[in-house]
Amino acid sequence: MIHDDKHLTGLVINPQHIRKVANEWAKIGKGDSIPYVLAFGVPPAAILVSSMPIPEGATESEYIGAICGEPLPVVKAELSDLEIPAESELVFEGVLNINNLVNEGPFGEMHGYVFPGTGHPCPLYTVDVINYRDEAILPVSNPGLCTDETHTLIGGLVSAELKNFALNHPILSKIVMDVFTPYEAQALWAAFKINTKELVKLNTTSVELRKLFGDLYFETKIASIIHEIVLVGDDIDIFDFRKFFWAYVTRHTPDDDQTFFHKVPAFPLAPFISNGPRIKSKKGGKVVTDCLLPKQYQDPDFSFTTCDYSSYEAKLQQKINDNWSAYGFKS
């Protein structure tokens, strides 16, 4: 966010790399002034990776190269040894002072709110140099109600990483079929589609499964933006919000089928955190909600029929559609 004609301010928080770099900078005795480069209009792959919860220890430039199959072209910064994507449209250079705090906000965030008169103390970026291409294009993303780039990029990429984490876990890999952060939930929910036949083989309980998911995910960077994990059966298309939300409201008893996690890191940008008492501790407010029916833990053959138009036999559906056409309506 612009502070004045020569300064910016913005979040420098865990678990983001910028906070970790700042911590390492201080740890080796370099002080609280850190050289930075802010690049606008970078290649799409760079934007993609910047939104990803990439593995610990990996650098974004190397990750971009791995995705593209070739190194990202870079040039040296003017004021430091930092490297910049060569195709950038606009580049700011200067120093980040981690302990010089100024107010950031109000700012319209990915959850769709602006709270006038509010702000948070954030570190100050001094802009010493600005370089740009001829007829440079300044890219703009205007976050708000779904769906925009924050939900499709951040949410979609988090979904992929949540699934990848499950596929590499000895227990979750047996039951997790797919993962998605529904756009309508502003990337605060993560829906997990569970293989119910394999679930029975685990001989587990809802309480145990909820605890497993929360313990595994809520301490990770991958799920840092997620405040509710929702488990649903394999009859639900988690990419269809109508069906997913139907399962959510009809298949869990509030509190009874939920496990709350009060000590895990909260996402401070979530409005109920930033404007609530938990902003002081930045802890908790996360939950695993189980929308699997009790019998789905015990009986691999347990089944039910969905009372919906699509559940009627095809012959009857066709007859109804034909009648509507005969009445003059489009089927």
Question: What residues are labeled active site?
Answer: 109
Beta-carbon count within 10 A of 200 CB = 18
Three-state SS string across 294-331, please?
A: HHHHCCCCCCCCCCCHHHCCHHHHHHHHHHHHHCCCCC
DSSP letter for each residue of 224-240: TT--EEEEEETTS-TT-
d(CA 241, CA 232): 12
Contacts of 277 (CB under 8 A, 6+ apart): none
Amino acid at 294: P
d(CA 186, CA 188): 5
- Please answer whether residues 79 and 95 qualify as being in contact, where contact means their C-beta atoms are separated by less than 8 angstroms: no
Amino acid at 74: V
Cα–Cα–Cα angle for 126, 132, 51, rounded to 5 degrees: 70
Could you tell me how far CA 55 lies from the centroid of its own chain?
A: 15
Question: Tokens representing 313?
Answer: 């036999």
